[in-house]
Chain A
Amino acid sequence: MTEGLRARVRVQRGDFLLDADLVVGAGETVALLGPNGAGKSTAIDAIAGLAPLDAGRVELDGRVLDDAEAGVFVPPERRGIGVMFQRYLLFEHLHALDNVAFGLRRAGLGRSAARAEAARWLDRFGLTTVAEQRPGQLSGGQAQRVALARALAVEPRLLLLDEPLAALDVTSRARSRRLLADDLDGQACPRVLITHDPLEAVLLGDRIVVLEDGRVTQVGTADDLRRRPSTPYVADLVGTNLLRASISGGRVRLLDERLELIAADVRTEGPVLVTIAPSAVSLHREEPHGSPRNAWETVVTGVEVRPETVRLSLAEPRGLVVEVTAESVEVLGLRPGSAVWASVKATEISVNRS
């Protein structure tokens, strides 16, 4: 018997096709990361049984829950899959305690036994004081944790978390994220966390599955994504530059650009993805002399001031992001439209086959 979730999910919604494989091992948290409209929530619905598969198969701890070809479909109430929904969906007519007790009651526990168990969950999450409050009276963070307690109370075999922190305001999100990490840490069941926030994915996920336009475009650890982003979306998320290029004769020719770069480690030919960290690019007022073999003249197109650094974008290669200190921006007198020389060491250019 294979523990955990093995899913091949194929759902057609009008023109949109979700076609994704997802494997989650026992005790593992997989972050399903993707932009809005990538099909993340559709994937949750399909795994939870709220939307049937058009093709594919969902298997949890060796038990087939949905198999379109074999005609198997286990309804959501008999899957043992807990879901924490994005808007929490706490029942307004029940107070917090009875919301948590809801699933326990349905599992056959008597009223007082279910309430006692629900009270233990609230106690574990430090929510005893709000047990008698209706969902409308709870703060966002409290509602989120009541929803988590409600989903966990029935001891699911798999927990799906749909954007668990998205409904919270920015000020309480960091605290809630730490609490969520602690809460999830003690849980044995495998977890799928849906998010569009790379920080959440990195901090809460053991592994990250990137979903774009219904397809899985990358699977790996946060480090894998940072070192070798496979799509511009991922590169943008991890804050690095990803350029499409082709290599011939040891020279890296950027697609759609006039620029040719020299990379230190070129052992391949043909189409490649080039990654350049924003901090690896230096800017100069005049043509630089010395070690960098890659230097070109271009124009600053954008300036974004961040707390510690300033991020500039360049005209060539189009949209290249450069990270420099506020001092150098001042010294070089950089503003949108400024002409500037850019240089990058050959050793800072990482080349991966695409």
Chain B
Amino acid sequence: MRRVREPIPWPLSVLGALGAALVLVPLVGLVIESPWGDLPSLVTSEVVLDALALSMFSATAAAVLSVLLGVPLAWLLARGAFRGRSVLRAAVTLPMVLPPVVGGAALLVALGRRGVVGEPLDEATGIVLPFSIWGVILANTFVAMPFLVITVAGALGSIDRRYEAAARTLGASSLSVFTRVTLPMIRPALVAGFVLAWARALGEFGATVTFAGNLPGRTQTLPLAVFVALESDRDAAIAMSLVLVTVSLVVLVSLRDRWWGSR
């Protein structure tokens, strides 16, 4: 078959190229400026390894927590029949729009040592959330879960519910319809939502620093460590940034088919 190249309108190519440059130039700069010789020692320093481990752990924990709580929440939003559902739907997605610092402040007011929930929690159980790793996970979940919720709720709203009806006529209770039929059907959305939430949690800065602080080895995640290092040790900051870019790239590449569709 003969193929004729479709002409690209020139304003689209110029603006599109500018858009690509906006994304690529800073990344290329990061690579050029990297202190390649010192990279191994910089990346394996205790501060970086601690921050990397903390980032990986807290992002994964937040993504898992987002699935555990977010999938049922998405189900309620997509299927539940109760008053105020549309208000709840808007409220749940608010953290996606809210400046993360505001989210962190809200968490502090509610769950801080003197907070409305935090104080009774401290008195009853001795658990103090802020300025601990649990605080990091909580702040991460706060900003990341909405990404999973809207992805999963969208899938729940669009699947063919006749399959669930078929399962019921085969004797499946509503809970086993959910676990045996609905969940397998929304699996692609679940995976995409998990990765989105994980990626959002990995890059989390504002809510974390506000609610959990910036304690090296305890609550200092990689983005916080980068920010601190920019003031004192520029090479270390670039090295850590490079680590974050690499981790993000690996995730993106491994999921590119899911994301962009297989074409």
Whether chains A and B associate is: yes
Report A's interface with B, CB cutoff 8 A. Answer: 45, 48-50, 75-79, 81-83, 85, 87, 89, 91-93, 102-103, 106-107, 150-151, 154
Q: Is B102 an interface residue (CB 8 A)?
A: no
A154 to B166 Cα, complex, angstroms: 13
Is the CB–CB distance between B172 and A83 below 8 Å?
no
Checking B165, B170, B173 against A103 with a beta-carbon cut-off of 8 angstroms, the contacting residue is B170
A329 to B69 Cα, complex, angstroms: 76
Is the CB–CB distance between A83 and B169 below 8 Å?
yes
Q: Is B176 an interface residue (CB 8 A)?
A: yes
Is the CB–CB distance between A93 and B184 below 8 Å?
yes
Is the CB–CB distance between B165 and A77 below 8 Å?
no
A85 to B166 Cα, complex, angstroms: 8
Checking B168, B169, B184 against A91 with a beta-carbon cut-off of 8 angstroms, the contacting residue is B184
Is the CB–CB distance between B163 and A77 below 8 Å?
no
A82 to B169 Cα, complex, angstroms: 6
Is the CB–CB distance between A102 and B168 below 8 Å?
no
Is the CB–CB distance between A50 and B168 below 8 Å?
yes
Is the CB–CB distance between A76 and B162 below 8 Å?
no
Checking A48, A81, A102, A151 against B167 with a beta-carbon cut-off of 8 angstroms, the contacting residue is A102
Is the CB–CB distance between B169 and A102 below 8 Å?
no
Checking B162, B173, B184 against A85 with a beta-carbon cut-off of 8 angstroms, the contacting residue is B162
Interface of B, secondary structure class, is helix
Q: Is B229 an interface residue (CB 8 A)?
A: no
Is the CB–CB distance between B184 and A106 below 8 Å?
no
A78 to B185 Cα, complex, angstroms: 24
Checking B169, B171, B172, B176 against A50 with a beta-carbon cut-off of 8 angstroms, the contacting residue is B169
Report B's interface with A, CB cutoff 8 A. Answer: 160, 162-163, 165-173, 176, 180-181, 184-185, 187
**7 shortest A-B CB distances, which residue pairs?**
A103-B170, A93-B184, A106-B171, A89-B166, A76-B168, A83-B169, A106-B172
Checking B167, B168, B171 against A107 with a beta-carbon cut-off of 8 angstroms, the contacting residue is B171
A151 — which chain B residues lie within 8 A by C-beta?
Answer: 169-170
A238 to B22 Cα, complex, angstroms: 72
Is the CB–CB distance between B172 and A91 below 8 Å?
no
Checking A50, A76, A91 against B163 with a beta-carbon cut-off of 8 angstroms, the contacting residue is A91
A83 to B164 Cα, complex, angstroms: 13
Most central of A82, A102, A154 by chain B CB within 10 Å: A102
B165 — which chain A residues lie within 8 A by C-beta?
Answer: 45, 50, 76, 89
Is the CB–CB distance between B163 and A89 below 8 Å?
yes
Given contacts A77-B173, A150-B170, 19 further A-B contacts (CB under 8 A): A45-B165, A50-B168, A50-B169, A77-B172, A85-B162, A89-B160, A89-B163, A91-B167, A91-B181, A93-B184, A93-B185, A102-B167, A102-B170, A102-B172, A103-B170, A106-B170, A107-B171, A151-B170, A154-B171
